[in-house]
């Protein structure tokens, strides 16, 4: 039982990060119908930029997180303006290929600027934590759980009640109709990329604080992708919940079945879900007449 609790708690800790990352994937797909394969790289880039800020100024953790939110929004807007907006009106596949090229470019930029050696995020909560029985939880892991709850509640309120959120849902439902109704679709796209980058920035700072920084941390974005498929590509809240499920599944499968399953268990889930429910557990079914 103690072994199960240890596996479950550590799975929950990484699952919360997967949930945050997955929310960014789902938000961009919901608003633009594009799968952003550079999302993990954007998370990595912002975490390294946060490292530079933390190394230059002795900011408390929440100050660093606030600075990272502003920085993330700027990065998201710049990416949308330079790389995504010129692709409006093109095939979705072409835009997806642009995100893949952007991902490779960001990886190279990170190594050129910060080097290939692992780094430690200099924050004031790096080693602090709470011991509950035989389980030790870092403060950053508790913050991650709280931030996921705040992000889910905030996105639900934003999409349901704000004018911009309703415009985003309308654009996601039918872009042409949204344009005819006077909705500035380009603004909606820019907002979606900015919010997704902010969520990626939060994930990156938390991930860097808990596990440190390295040039391969972009792979955490890829490992969070099964959560998006499980929850539904167009379900922001489904991605958040499924991230926790994937984190638990990874740890429990490796702990009880064997080493190596942690890296592939999420993708096994993708295969099963796509065969049974192609639109995910919480996604919207799409029926097309041919």
pLDDT score of 126: 67
More reliable by pLDDT, 134 or 28: 28
Find the mean pLDDT for residues 1-28: 85
pLDDT score of 1: 63
CATH topology of domain 2-276: ABC transporter involved in vitamin B12 uptake, BtuC (1.10.3470)
Instruction: For residue range 189-199, list pLDDT tens digits in order.
Output: 899 999 999 99
Question: Residue 100 above 90 pLDDT?
Answer: yes
Segments making up each domain of the chain, as ranges: 2-276
DSSP letters of the chain?
A: -HHHHHHHHHHHHHHHHHHHHHHHHHHHHHHHS---TTHHHHHHHHHHHHHHHHHHS---HHHHHHHHHHHHHHHHHHHIIIIIGGGTTS-HHHHHHHHHHHHHHHHHHHHHHH-SS-B----TTSS-EEEETTEEEEHHHHHHHHHHHHHHHHHHHHHHHSHHHHHHHHHHH-HHHHHHTT--HHHHHHHHHHHHHHHHHHHHHHHHHHH-B-TTTTHHHHHHHHHHHHH-TT-HHHHHHHHHHHHHHHHHHHHHT-TTHHHHHHHHHHHHHHHH-TT-SSSPP-----
Per-residue confidence band for 113, with pLDDT thresholds at 50, 70 and 90: very high
Instruction: For residue range 13-26, list pLDDT tens digits in order.
Output: 889 999 999 999 99
pTM: 0.89
pLDDT score of 261: 75
96-105, 206-215, 280-289 — which one is most confidently predicted on average? 96-105
Rounded percentage of the chain residues whose pLDDT exceeds 90:
30
Instruction: For residue range 41-98, list pLDDT tens digits in order.
Output: 999 999 999 999 998 888 888 899 999 999 999 999 999 999 988 887 788 888 899 9
pLDDT score of 278: 77
Mean pLDDT, the chain, integer: 85
Instruction: For residue range 233-257, list pLDDT tens digits in order.
Output: 878 888 899 889 888 888 888 877 8
Question: Residue 133 above 80 pLDDT?
Answer: no
Question: Residue 259 above 50 pLDDT?
Answer: yes
More reliable by pLDDT, 180 or 51: 51
pLDDT score of 277: 81
pLDDT score of 79: 93
pLDDT score of 180: 67
Identify the weakest region by mean pLDDT among 55-59, 103-107, 132-136, 218-222: 132-136
Question: Residue 181 above 80 pLDDT?
Answer: no
């Amino acid at each position: 039982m103690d072994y199960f609790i240890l596996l479950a708690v550590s799975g929950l800790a990484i699952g919360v990060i997967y949930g945050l990352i997955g929310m960014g994937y789902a938000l961009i797909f919901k608003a633009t119908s594009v799968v952003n394969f550079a999302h993990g790289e954007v998370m990595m880039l912002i975490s390294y930029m946060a490292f530079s800020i933390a190394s230059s100024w002795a900011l408390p953790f929440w100050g660093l997180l606030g600075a990272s939110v502003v920085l993330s929004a700027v990065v998201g807007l710049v990416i949308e303006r330079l790389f995504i907006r010129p692709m409006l009106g093109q095939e979705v596949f072409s835009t997806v290929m642009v995100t893949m090229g952007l991902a490779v470019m960001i990886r190279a930029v990170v190594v050129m600027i910060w080097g290939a050696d692992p780094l430690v995020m200099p924050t004031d909560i790096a080693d602090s934590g709470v011991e509950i029985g035989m389980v030790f939880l870092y403060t950053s892991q508790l913050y991650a759980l709280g931030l996921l709850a705040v992000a889910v509640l905030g996105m639900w309120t934003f999409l349901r009640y704000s004018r911009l959120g309703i415009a985003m849902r309308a654009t996601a439902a039918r872009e042409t109709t949204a344009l005819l109704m006077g909705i500035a679709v380009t603004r909606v796209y820019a907002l979606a990329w900015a919010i997704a980058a902010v969520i990626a920035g939060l994930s990156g700072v938390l991930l860097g604080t808990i596990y440190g920084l390295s040039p391969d941390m972009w792979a955490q974005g890829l490992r969070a992708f099964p959560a998006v498929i499980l929850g539904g590509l167009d379900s922001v809240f489904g991605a958040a919940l499924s991230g926790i499920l994937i984190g638990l599944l990874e740890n429990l499968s490796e702990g009880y079945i064997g080493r190596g399953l942690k890296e592939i268990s999420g993708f096994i889930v993708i295969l099963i879900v796509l065969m049974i429910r192609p639109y995910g557990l919480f996604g919207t079914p799409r029926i097309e007449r041919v």
